[in-house]
Structure 1
Amino acid sequence: MPERTIDFGKYGAQGIRGYEALARQLDALADFIATPVTTRRGLMARLHYLTRTPRARAAAHDAGLTVTDRTLKAWLAGTRRPTKRNLARIDNAYRAVRRRNVARYLLARLNRAGRGTRVEIHPLNQSGVRPSHQRVVEFRTLNVRRWEALVAAWSTGDDRALDDAWIEQIVDLGSQWGQYEYVTNIGFAA
């Protein structure tokens, strides 16, 4: 059984970690607000999402948005504008709260009552690798039936746990699983 890749890209291969591609796809399914936080509309949409209920406010506070109620009211009224640092905090808090809110729904959607979801794995890009150093990698599909660990790690933003959960899934590819630790893209629809 292969070990994890230690020196990726040494010979010119390009790609990203599989768990990062998986997180991107899950983020796309979470359907975040598309308008940037730097615009008035994007800022207001995020602030309303984070402050509409006491539970949402508590989740935003837990996610790192630790400003006073007076400051939040001024931002919502438009009398004050958040700094760049606070805009980043608002966006990060919004993403963290949104992930937590959609995790349960997304998990049910991906598990599909035990049938799972087919995941397409696009291999790493070896166009910059000399032919003598290239290895044979091909497009693969994998039916993931148990998404609990993947979605839980994604919803909390725990990259290490997400990486471990992803590796646990691709081990099902057999002895070639190490070739899919780095990929160009991962696709699935739920």
Structure 2
Amino acid sequence: MGFGQLGAEGIEGGRALAESLDRRTFEYDVSWRRSEEERLAQAVKYLMTKKSGPDTLRAYGITADTGTLTALLSAEQTPVPGQQQRLEQAFRALRRHNVAPHLTGVLDRKRGARRGTRIEIHPVYQEGVQPSHRRDLRVRHKNIWRWKPIVQAWAAQDSLVMEDLWQELISDMDSDYRSYQYVGHIGICG
């Protein structure tokens, strides 16, 4: 029987870990909760000021020149349909790439205390599951010692590698590790 057929809700653990790194990078660090105009201005400014911004723009199919980007930034011009979404995707990709070394350092610095960086693994949501089919799942804690491959896969947006790394991380969680292949949420402590 496949995941969710009895009403459980959640996502793959690797994807949840990537979303947690996204929250840490975009919501806590740069206050991503802004209006569309503010997000567009932030994305354009970031892409214009970073050395690899033009390459990232080309990779996302944006062929705008500096004058067009300046007009977008000053709100003299509005993006064509789909362009704002591509600009935000390009911004996020470049930001992930640029912040990855710092993020790895922050998460690995805690390693000096010989504890690793702790994550909280919240189980799938079982509100939609009949009581007779519910499992007794609890929030689990796990220390991660090697963040570099996780952050590299996250920065490259490689979901297959993230999922493989997740399977490797939970493989030592006793006999119930399969219960955490899908999760409700993952929090990174610290």
Secondary structure of 1:175 counterpart: helix
State how far apart, in whole Å, the 2-side matches of 1:13 and 1:21 are: 16
Q: Is the 8 A contact 1:63 1:97 kept in 2?
A: no
Q: Please, which of 3, 11, 21 is the counterpart of residue 8 of structure 1?
A: 3
- 1:54 Cα deviation (Å)? 3.5
Q: Deviations over 1:108-142 (max 9, x none)?
A: 11122634201111111222222332223222111
Report what 1:174 is aligned to: 174
Q: Which range moves more in the overlay, 25-34 or 114-123?
A: 25-34
State how far apart, in whole Å, the 1-side matches of 2:154 and 2:42 are: 23
Q: Deviations over 1:128-187 (max 9, x none)?
A: 222332223222111110112211111011111111111111112132111001111111
Q: Confirm or deny that 1:21 pairs with 2:19.
A: no
Secondary structure of 2:36 counterpart: coil
Q: Is the 8 A contact 1:21 1:186 kept in 2?
A: yes
RMSD: 2.0
State how far apart, in whole Å, the 2-side matches of 1:138 and 1:52 are: 45
Q: Return the TM-score normalized by structure 1.
A: 0.86
Aligned residues: 184
- 1:47 Cα deviation (Å)? 0.7
Secondary structure of 1:84 counterpart: coil
Structure 2: unaligned runs, 5 residues or longer? none
Report what 2:36 is aligned to: 38
Report what 2:44 is aligned to: 47
Q: Which range moves more in the overlay, 163-172 or 112-121?
A: 112-121
Q: Confirm or deny that 1:58 pairs with 2:58.
A: no
Report what 1:87 is aligned to: 84
Q: Return the TM-score normalized by structure 2.
A: 0.86
Report what 1:3 is aligned to: none
- 1:77 Cα deviation (Å)? 4.1
